[in-house]
Amino acid sequence: MSIVAPIPDIEVQSSRVVVTSPTWFEVRQQDLPLWNDVLRGTEGSIYQYPFWNEPYRPLWLTPRYLAWGTQDRPLAFVAILTLGVGPVKIGLVFRGPVCLRRGHRLSREIIADLLTWARSQGYVFIRFTHSDPQVLHQLAAAGHAEEFDGLPYFLDYPVLSPDYIVEKIRQTVEFLGMTGSGQLVQHLRI
């Protein structure tokens, strides 16, 4: 026994189901304010927040924001300050990536996927800093890594070098300047 039906009359199930596996995906620009709120609920550094990274745009650094997981359930986040265009880029990641679940660590899969994504996007070098040495060890184990500062002009604070230590004294410093909104600033109490 057989059945014959024209192709347009058959509903193909697989075309209706979108299979999504966890991966790194770019965060939409219009969602950045939401991500500031999401990151406040994590142990992530302020250096990963979009509101911290957006002011770097005038310095020819383009922030790229990525989340790992699925669109409806992201589990990790990273902000990469990017210099370069086309096939060759370098990146700066200050104290990232960030695990979005408190008390959990980033998996090897997440780290390896981030490096795979970076290679596919033309990154030839990414400088990572992180407050958790375990994350740096995972990054080093996932790809070729060297411990040196390839971009010393974009420092990760606090800088522990004695060259940058300024003794605080209680005094009023007079200066004249304009704020971004055009208000005159007269003094600053330290």
CATH of the domain at 80: 3.40.630.30
In this structure, is residue 116 part of a structural domain? yes
Examine residue 174 and state whether it is found in any structural domain, yes or no. Answer: no
Q: So what's the pLDDT on residue 93?
A: 93
Going by pLDDT thresholds of 50, 70 and 90, the confidence category of residue 90 is: very high
| 11 inside domain | no
Please indicate, yes or no, if residue 102 is contained in any of the structural domains. yes
Among 84-93, 109-118, 162-171, the range with the most confident prediction by mean pLDDT is 109-118
What is the per-residue pLDDT for 85? 79
The answer to whether residue 162 is domain-embedded is no
Average pLDDT of the residues in 103-121: 92
Asked if residue 118 is part of any domain, the answer here is yes
Give the pLDDT confidence score for residue 135 in this predicted structure: 86
- Residue % of the chain over a pLDDT of 70: 67
> How many distinct structural domains can be found in the chain?
1
Using a 10 angstrom Cβ sphere, with 0-12 exposed, 13-18 middle and 19 or more buried, the burial of residue 84 is: middle
Encoded tokens for 80: 């990469």
pLDDT at position 8: 43
Domain that holds residue 108: 20-151
Query: Of 56, 69, 90, 67, nearest to 22 (Cα)?
Result: 69
170 within some domain = no
User: Of all residues in the chain, what percent carry a pLDDT higher than 90?
Assistant: 45
pLDDT tens digits along 132-167: 888 888 888 887 777 766 666 566 655 454 444 455
Task: Please check whether residue 183 lies inside any domain of the structure.
Answer: no
pLDDT of 181 higher than 60: no
What gap in Å lies between CA 48 and CA 65, rounded to an integer?
9
Question: Is residue 97 over pLDDT 80?
Answer: yes
Q: Report the relative pairing of strands 172-178 and 184-189 from DSSP bridges.
A: antiparallel
Is residue 34's pLDDT more than 90? yes
* Average pLDDT of the residues of the chain: 77
Band of pLDDT at residue 33, cut at 50, 70 and 90 = very high
* pLDDT for residue 185: 45
